[in-house]
């Protein structure tokens, strides 16, 4: 049986990456693509690299257009998914790549996003370790509504959560600094994203605890076992089209050895198909995972500072968005979660 699929917001970067991966999936058939300003245009005019889907035309984004499909993927800006999701009750599986259904606390939504709050859905980060020693994966089996994490959130969470659950790091003085590619800001025209503005330069943004991904990171670390989490989170825009390299640090818990620290991450990711802890002394580059659904994690203990350091690399459009969406959909529908998802990156 092939599942009919619609992708809403198909003209953006996340939508395009969904389509690229879905075109290779043996159980999904993309039948409908929608957009706002590009409605009526051939998909190939907006995404000429998607040759296998060149027969599709972008349609108006309405609930009626999306209804009647087995699976709907939403790749929309925050605040836009919730306008649609209440009217898609007949769709078997809806996967939201936006922020509208991620947060469990309405106060966090009001403080960091604003506008109407929509209930949290099953959270689409299968590898998230939980305080009860399980993983988020188990909560995705049979899900009908899934919220995909923010890309920065995935990178920081995968880097820190194993240490939180194992109790080998303290959750009250966490620091994360991320090098982030420009596609994470979407495809809309912005002056600060012009090539002449970003070439040969790096710039921090959303500094000082105001980034919208902060409450989601804290939410995940609490789920991993922290009573509360305090984190200073600073993203830095770098001249890459895609990729995230997250350097996250935490105080090592008193009396914990370096071997015990490493064992926490080894145990968490030993059997994961899309997360790898690198050998001691090795650290990833963002380019190592370009085009793949892999997350690579390097780990060190800074003995002088008494801190644990992780360096996590993901492709923000794959493991950070579209790949996580399809991986979670696979689990919800009872497929092998690896189906249709690449582990090999693209180089050079």
Confidence at 150, pLDDT banded by 50, 70, 90: very high
This prediction has a pTM of: 0.96
pLDDT tens-digit map of 29-64 = 999 999 988 899 999 999 999 999 999 999 999 999
- Residue 195 sits at φ, ψ, to 5 deg, of -55, -40
Query: Does pLDDT of 330 surpass 70?
Result: yes
Active site residue 97: no
pLDDT-wise least confident of 53-57, 81-85, 250-254, 328-332? 81-85
Residue 285's pLDDT is what? 98
Mean pLDDT on 232-245 = 96
In the structure encoding, which two tokens stand for residue 96, read together? Answer: 């939201």
User: 174 and 209 in contact (C-beta within 8 Å)?
Assistant: no
Q: How far apart, in whole angstroms, are the C-alpha atoms of residue 194 and residue 188? A: 11
Q: How far apart, in whole angstroms, are the C-alpha atoms of residue 213 and residue 222? A: 15
Angle of the 151-166 helix axis to the 258-269 helix axis, nearest 10: 120
Residue 197's pLDDT is what? 84
User: 136 and 153 in contact (C-beta within 8 Å)?
Assistant: no
- Residue 241 sits at φ, ψ, to 5 deg, of -75, -30
Q: How far apart, in whole angstroms, are the C-alpha atoms of residue 343 and residue 321? A: 15
**How many CB atoms within 10 Å of residue 195?**
8
pLDDT tens-digit map of 276-287 = 999 999 999 999
Mean pLDDT over the full length of the chain? 96
8-state DSSP, 169: B
Mean pLDDT on 93-97 = 98
Q: How far apart, in whole angstroms, are the C-alpha atoms of residue 265 and residue 293? A: 19
CA distances from 150 to 38, 75, 157, 185, 272 (A): 25, 12, 10, 12, 20
Q: How far apart, in whole angstroms, are the C-alpha atoms of residue 347 and residue 174? A: 33
Mean pLDDT on 60-76 = 95
- The dihedral of CA 187, 284, 151, 308: what is its sign? negative
| Helices and strands: H and E segment counts in the chain | 10, 14
All structural domains of the chain: 3-148+318-333 (3.40.50.720), 152-314 (3.30.360.10)
Residue 186's pLDDT is what? 75
Mean pLDDT on 20-35 = 97
What is the H or E stretch that residue 22 is in?
helix 13-22
Mean pLDDT on 264-289 = 98
Residue 83's pLDDT is what? 85
User: 309 and 258 in contact (C-beta within 8 Å)?
Assistant: no
Mean pLDDT on 169-174 = 97
Catalytic residue among 84, 103, 151, 297: 151
Residue 230's pLDDT is what? 97
pLDDT tens-digit map of 178-217 = 999 998 877 776 777 788 888 899 999 999 999 999 999 9
Q: How far apart, in whole angstroms, are the C-alpha atoms of residue 205 and residue 177? A: 11
Query: Does pLDDT of 146 surpass 70?
Result: yes
pLDDT-wise least confident of 76-90, 106-120, 183-197, 247-261? 183-197
Spatial CA neighbour of 22 closest among 72, 57, 64, 85: 72
8-state DSSP, 126: T
């Amino acid at each position: 049986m092939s599942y009919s699929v619609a992708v809403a917001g198909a003209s953006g970067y996340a939508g395009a990456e969904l389509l690229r991966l879905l075109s290779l999936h043996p159980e999904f058939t993309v039948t409908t693509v929608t957009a706002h300003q590009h409605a009526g245009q051939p998909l190939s005019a907006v995404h000429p690299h998607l040759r296998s889907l060149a027969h599709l035309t972008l349609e108006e984004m309405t609930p009626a257009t999306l209804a009647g499909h087995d699976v709907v993927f939403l790749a929309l800006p925050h605040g836009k998914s919730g306008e649609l999701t209440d009217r898609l009750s007949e769709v078997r599986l809806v996967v939201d790549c936006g922020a509208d259904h991620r947060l469990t606390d309405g106060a966090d939504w009001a403080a960091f996003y604003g506008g109407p709050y929509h209930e949290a859905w099953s959270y689409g980060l299968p590898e998230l370790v939980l305080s009860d020693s399980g993983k988020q994966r188990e909560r995705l089996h049979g899900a009908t509504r899934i919220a995909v994490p923010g890309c920065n959130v995935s990178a920081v969470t995968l880097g820190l959560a194993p240490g939180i659950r194992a109790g080998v790091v303290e959750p009250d003085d966490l620091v994360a600094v991320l090098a982030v590619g420009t596609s994470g800001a979407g495809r809309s025209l912005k002056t600060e994203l012009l090539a002449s503005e970003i070439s040969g330069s790096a710039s921090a943004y959303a500094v000082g605890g105001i980034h919208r991904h902060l409450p989601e990171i804290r939410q995940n670390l609490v789920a991993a076992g922290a009573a509360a989490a305090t984190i200073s989170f600073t993203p830095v825009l770098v001249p890459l089209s895609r990729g995230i390299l997250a350097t996250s640090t935490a105080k090592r818990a008193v009396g914990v050895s370096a071997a015990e620290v490493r064992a926490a991450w080894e145990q968490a990711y030993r059997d994961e198909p899309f997360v790898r802890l690198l050998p001691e002394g090795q650290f990833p580059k963002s380019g190592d995972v370009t085009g793949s659904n892999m997350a690579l994690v390097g780990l060190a203990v800074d003995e002088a500072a008494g801190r644990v350091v992780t360096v996590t690399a993901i492709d923000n459009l794959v493991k950070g968005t579209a790949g996580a969406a399809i991986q979670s959909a696979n689990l919800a529908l009872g497929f092998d979660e690896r189906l249709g998802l690449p582990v090999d990156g693209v180089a050079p």
